[in-house]
């Protein structure tokens, strides 16, 4: 008997070691990132998922709150080959089940071959394989989490001051804190608003940019955020990252689809179609833009040609599927935030003419 089990949608039930007790379920995904476990675990994009680390030892440089991307751990559980004691303490303090001493190479290979799959986890004293199977039976498809935005969005508007001229209305669909920081560090005042914010509230704010954040789940379940893009397109510059790119594409008549297992790691190569430059990027997504609608694809993934950047110069639209803010990962694309704020200057110049 073991003190932890994971039941997989392919019928297997694997034994593991309990590092933090609990029973739960979620879509099993993996990240190949070899650093940044605090950032990944606090990224709201992982809501309703179970995060497996392909890198074997997690926790080897400690846990520091100043690296957190939000106020809490978002995956419903975590899996690794080995979690350190400090990680076990962190998981237990947040009531997030964690298991290790499992063959994560095999688990990651299964996800790559069969796709991100549902799983159920049971960890702690007296748990049984049936407990894990019972959790699996209750696991929903990611697209069925229709209210997932409300689980992660800000309960109240907040303002993060950069001290400069530009006002950015950031629609919080599960925003990483480093996206906000990347804008305030460039002088912007960032107004973080609920993903359910009404267009009238934004019109009253009269922002210079509308920014749609990253976030969890199916972009089709963010209708209000999409309607905000439709309302302000052509009126003020619009930017988006990851889920934000997907929502913006849908607002411009495009479409999105679920990937087999997504891109999650810190070494995804992306080519700029104009300059032919390749940058290494941080990625964490399971859906992709299958049809860019009225937008132009400006960047593509070197591995699978998926759309990584969209734009419309005339209306001032710029989005990225990957995470230019890094945290974790390479800083090759931090210039994206300069490009976003440069749209303010361009738009002001156009308006002034």
Query: Is 177 annotated as a binding-site member?
Result: no
Is the Cα torsion angle 299, 266, 43, 103 positive or negative in sign?
A: positive
Using alpha carbons, select from 287, 252, 249 the residue that is nearest to residue 27: 287
With tokens 């749209």, the residue in question is 343
Segment interacting with ligand GLN, rule: CB under 6 A, options 91-99, 160-168, 199-207, 283-291:
283-291
CA distance 86 to 254: 44
Query: Is 214 annotated as a binding-site member?
Result: no
Segment interacting with ligand GLN, rule: CB under 6 A, options 104-112, 202-210, 281-289, 308-316:
281-289
Binding mask 234-263 for ligand GLN (x = CB under 6 A): --------xx--------------------
**Is 74 considered catalytic here?**
no
Phi, psi of 126 (to 5 degrees): 65, 15
- Pick the closer one to ligand GLN by CB: 81 or 285: 285
With tokens 């833009």, the residue in question is 289
CB of 245 to ligand GLN, least distance (A): 8
Helix (H/G/I), strand (E/B), else coil: 339: helix
Distances (CA, A) of 163 to 122, 149, 212, 294, 334: 48, 29, 21, 35, 20
Q: How many residues bind ligand GLN (CB under 6 A)?
A: 11
Under the criterion CB under 6 A, does residue 214 sit at the interface with ligand GLN? yes
- Pick the closer one to ligand GLN by CB: 250 or 285: 285
- 25, 74, 285, 320: which one binds ligand GLN (CB under 6 A): 285
- DSSP letter string, 22-58: EEEEEEEEEE--SS-HHHHHT-GGGTTEEEEESSSEE
**Is 69 considered catalytic here?**
no
Query: Is 162 annotated as a binding-site member?
Result: no
**Helices 335-352 and 177-184, packing angle to 10 deg:** 50
Under the criterion CB under 6 A, does residue 328 sit at the interface with ligand GLN? no
Under the criterion CB under 6 A, does residue 36 sit at the interface with ligand GLN? no
Catalytic residue (choose from 242, 263, 285, 308): 242
- DSSP letter string, 210-275: EEE---SS-GGG-HHHHHHHHHHTTTS-EEEETHHHHHHHHHTT-EEEEEEEEEEEEEEEEEETTT
Query: Is 287 annotated as a binding-site member?
Result: yes
Query: Is 182 annotated as a binding-site member?
Result: no
Query: Is 286 annotated as a binding-site member?
Result: yes
**Is 323 considered catalytic here?**
yes
How would you write 86-97 as a 3-class SS string? HHHHHHHHHCCC
- 177, 215, 240, 292: which one binds ligand GLN (CB under 6 A): 215
CB of 45 to ligand GLN, least distance (A): 3
Under the criterion CB under 6 A, does residue 110 sit at the interface with ligand GLN? no
- Find the helix or strand (DSSP H, E) in which 14 lies: strand 13-20
Is the Cα torsion angle 179, 185, 188, 189 positive or negative in sign?
A: positive
Segment interacting with ligand GLN, rule: CB under 6 A, options 6-14, 50-58, 284-292, 295-303:
284-292
- Find the helix or strand (DSSP H, E) in which 336 lies: helix 335-352
CB of 259 to ligand GLN, least distance (A): 7
Encoded tokens for 11? 């019928």
- Pick the closer one to ligand GLN by CB: 110 or 284: 284
Under the criterion CB under 6 A, does residue 217 sit at the interface with ligand GLN? yes
Encoded tokens for 112? 């790559």
Segment interacting with ligand GLN, rule: CB under 6 A, options 5-13, 63-71, 208-216, 307-315:
208-216
CB of 124 to ligand GLN, least distance (A): 29
CB of 175 to ligand GLN, least distance (A): 9
Residues that constitute the known binding site for L-glutamine: 45, 215, 217, 243, 246, 284, 286-287
Q: Contact positions toward ligand GLN, by CB under 6 A?
A: 45, 214-217, 242-243, 284-287
Catalytic residues: 242, 323, 325
């Amino acid at each position: 008997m073991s003190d932890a089990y994971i039941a997989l949608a392919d019928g297997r039930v694997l034994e593991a070691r309990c590092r933090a007790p609990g029973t739960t379920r979620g879509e099993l995904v993996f990240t190949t990132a070899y650093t940044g476990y605090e950032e990944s675990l606090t990224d709201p994009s992982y809501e309703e998922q179970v995060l497996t680390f392909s890198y074997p030892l997690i926790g080897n440089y400690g846990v520091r709150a100043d690296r957190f991307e939000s106020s809490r751990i978002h995956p419903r559980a975590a899996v690794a080959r080995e979690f350190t004691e400090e990680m076990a303490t962190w998981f237990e303090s947040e009531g997030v089940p964690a298991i290790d001493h499992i063959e994560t190479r095999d688990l990651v290979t299964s996800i790559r071959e069969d796709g991100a799959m549902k799983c159920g986890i049971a960890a702690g004293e007296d748990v049984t394989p049936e407990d894990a199977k019972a959790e699996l039976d209750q696991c929903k498809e990611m697209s069925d989490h229709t209210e997932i935005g409300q689980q992660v969005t800000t309960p109240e508007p907040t303002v993060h001051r950069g001290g400069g001229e530009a006002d950015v209305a950031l629609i919080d669909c599960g925003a990483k804190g480093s996206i906000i920081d990347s804008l305030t560090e460039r002088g912007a005042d960032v107004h973080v608003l609920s993903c359910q914010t009404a267009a009238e509230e934004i019109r009253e704010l009269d922002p210079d940019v509308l920014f749609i954040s990253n976030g969890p789940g199916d972009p089709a379940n963010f209708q209000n955020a999409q309607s905000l893009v439709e309302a302000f397109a052509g009126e003020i510059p619009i930017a988006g990252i990851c889920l934000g790119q997907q929502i913006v594409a849908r607002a411009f008549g495009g479409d999105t689809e679920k990937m087999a297992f997504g891109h999650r790691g810190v070494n995804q190569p992306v080519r700029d179609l104009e300059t032919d430059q390749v940058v290494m990027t941080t990625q964490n997504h399971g859906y992709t833009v299958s049809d860019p609608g009225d937008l132009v694809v400006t960047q593509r993934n070197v591995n699978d040609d998926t759309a990584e950047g969209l734009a419309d110069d005339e209306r001032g639209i710029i989005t990225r599927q990957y995470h230019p803010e890094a945290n974790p990962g390479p800083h090759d694309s931090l210039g994206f935030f300069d490009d976003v704020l440069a749209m303010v200057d361009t738009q002001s110049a156009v308006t002034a003419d």
